[in-house]
Amino acid sequence: MSLEVISKIRSHGGTQGVYKHASSATGTDMEFSVFVPDHAAGATLPVVIYLSGLTCSQANVTEKGEYRAACAALGLIFVAPDTSPRGADVPDDAEGAYDFGLGAGFYVNATEAPFGQHYNMRDYIERELHALIGADFPADISRVAIMGHSMGGHGALTIALRNRDQYKSVSAFAPIVSPLNCPWGEKALSGYLGADRAAWRTYDACALIEDGARVADILVDQGTGDNFLETQLKPDLLAAACAAADQPVTLRMQEGYDHSYYFISTFMAEHLEWHAARLRV
């Protein structure tokens, strides 16, 4: 694939870049950011993929995530894709709502018109982005971790559970753990996939675990001051599904923290250290 370099800048002993390419999965141009720490010539580095939440693009974590110092110290490439296809021809929510359409791809392969043509973020993350990072950066794609926030936490959990051999570890900040059981998820999955709730289960972390999917372990941080905690995120559902299935999970309730990047950046280095330990295996 041909990459267009939008920007490159030195930071924390590495290079922070933003790139654009024509995506075969979405049929649109897609942007993503990559931080590459300084490294020996010819060396390859493990990769952490970060999936962002509703209304976000790669810019939010790139500017606010405070990951570069930790990635430089740990020798991790940090990749942040966009959250949806974009462009004049890409359909959006009919009423312009923030929780569906542009900026809200939910990391699914849509089947419902008019979204099926472009909203294929599952294929984009699982297949196309992997191939691109392996081809164009000094990445060891046999050592990849995935993490995310909110909608991106949902994406990270479900992608890892569906592709255990592709990801060494998975973590999340304030994830939507069960889209089948919250307003955000019900709106998104019905809009992208139709009314058959059985088709939604492959995009629900709790349902995937109930249906037999497993990963080595899961790390989740959730703020107790998050205003979406009770209505949208429901981490107790993940804890219950994991307990019933003997799926290891560490759920840390962080007192007073909200849903913002103040919360994410506070615990980002701990998550990266957790992933680094597993990526060295």
- Assess whether 136 carries a catalytic annotation: no
pLDDT tens by residue, 82-108: 999 999 999 999 999 999 999 999 999
CA dihedral 52, 249, 162, 150 (to 10 degrees): -20
pLDDT (0 to 100) of residue 2? 87
> Which residue is catalytic, options 150, 169, 171, 178?
150
CA dihedral 40, 142, 81, 228 (to 10 degrees): -120
Per-domain boundaries in the chain: 4-279
Which pTM does this prediction carry?
Answer: 0.98
pLDDT tens by residue, 115-134: 999 999 999 999 999 999 99
> Which residue is catalytic, options 149, 259, 271, 275?
259
What CATH number matches the domain at 4-279, 3.40.50.1820, 3.60.15.10, 3.40.50.2300, 3.40.50.1000?
Answer: 3.40.50.1820
pLDDT tens by residue, 161-183: 999 999 999 999 999 999 999 99
Beta bridge mates, 81: 32
Mean of pLDDT over the chain: 97
Q: Is the bond leading into 46 cis (omega within 30 degrees of zero)?
A: no
- Assess whether 154 carries a catalytic annotation: no
At residue 281, does pLDDT exceed 80? no
User: Average pLDDT in the 213-228 region?
Assistant: 98
- Assess whether 118 carries a catalytic annotation: no
> Which residue is catalytic, options 154, 171, 226, 275?
226
Beta bridge mates, 78: 35, 48
- Contact criterion met (CB below 8 Å) for 206 and 177: yes
pLDDT (0 to 100) of residue 242? 98
Query: Can you list the alpha helix ranges (DSSP code H) found in 116-231?
Result: 121-123, 130-136, 151-162, 183-193, 205-210
